[in-house]
Amino acid sequence: MAETVKLSSPVDGSIYAERPVASEAEIDAAVSRARAAQAQWAKTSIDERGGYLLAFLEALLAMNDEIVPEIAWQMGRPVRYGGEKGGVEERTRYMVALAEKALAPYVPEDRPGFRRYLKRAPLGIVFTIAPWNYPYLTTVNSVVPALMAGNAVILKHAAQTLLVGERFQAAFDKAGLPKGLFQNIVLSHGQTEKLLGSGKVDHCNFTGSVGGGRAIEKAAAGTFMTLGLELGGKDPAYVLPDAKLDHAIANLVDGAFYNTGQCCCGIERVYVHEKVYDDFVEGFIAETRNYVVGNPLDQSTTMGPMAQARFADFIREQKAEALRKGATAHIGMKVEGDQDGSPYLAPEVLTNVNHQMSVMREESFGPIVGIMKVRDDEEAVQLMNDSPYGLTASIWTTDTDHAAALGDRIETGTVFMNRCDYVDPGLVWTGVKDTGKGGAMGLVGYENLTQPKSYHLREAI
């Protein structure tokens, strides 16, 4: 019997989708089609590529009414939020518009008798391994610029969001993209590792766990393929005495609990200056109590289940450990089905926490956040850097210069001031330490999806 991948819905535990994994022959054929299609695609103009990508975008946006409930069934995000169309459109249009500049040849200072320039050449085949938590946004981050840069793309989407890859395929087919340039494929873990080690793909873009990133590095060892790895995060926030507290509270609660806390750059720990600590905590607790946890298909629900029950059980374990070590829990919300082995889970806010607790050190990736009082900038920066991760950090103040100076001292990929949990396509999405390597979006994103090629042409002999 053929091996399949099953998608178990967090809504009710039912099998929402099931697909057979590709055969070895199908994988080889997909790679061959991609290689042949890419050779022709590399010859097309950036303007022509952009036309296809914008047609793809329109086709994908037209499916949104169907996509929104699919997301709820697959990974639990409430339908009231309307899917990911806003971010998908922003990032796609930006990266298409940026391509001409990003891929333009670089010409150094003139040297008489020589023509010298550097071009950005496609890598070849980009293998995107996409996660379930923001299944459309994270896929767009690599697929759109990869194609704009002249590459072919093979997509393996997460088992939890199997149908997303099919939506991408349908949208590209509707746009008339040449066959073989984009292919969605269902693979087992073993097949994924085999493809990575085969030398048949040229770049892998992976968003997922630290353990997953290490497995990919190991599988790709010796192939010399390039890797983009966006892994774990434990993103901190620091609230200064001059912060506009209402704004900070509203945004940090949303940053901690949107998507049931399943955000790479979600707020997982908050450090608050002692001068405003009490007022901040009081407001944060009150705002958190407004969440309505329940079936994500109901319009009244503002927080759905976690994608899998084991993720919720990990949050329960972090909370229990913190309470044993002296933390205080403030929400205590009663949620139907909130019990061991269930993906439904109430949000929680903890105080009296410290860095000996898992909840302040290990990635939670769920609806729990710890808040600590700090004396000054020195203590805040030390605690923010006391982490194996470094994706984003947010600073809440009215002093832009001070925020920038603090940002220089924080070990992170992105420094925010007075906002959080956002990807700016004009910059770069990157991280330090165990958060991974590489970078997506912006000019750097294009650099990572191409290879430099030098031309040194002597004209006078």
Clarify whether 18 is annotated catalytic. Answer: no
Distance CA 41, CA 271 (A): 50
Q: Which amino acid is at 58?
A: E
Q: Which amino acid is at 129?
A: I
Torsion sign across C-alpha atoms 224, 228, 233, 239: positive
Distance CA 213, CA 229 (A): 6
Determine which one of 230, 287, 348, 363 is catalytic. 230
Active site residues: 230
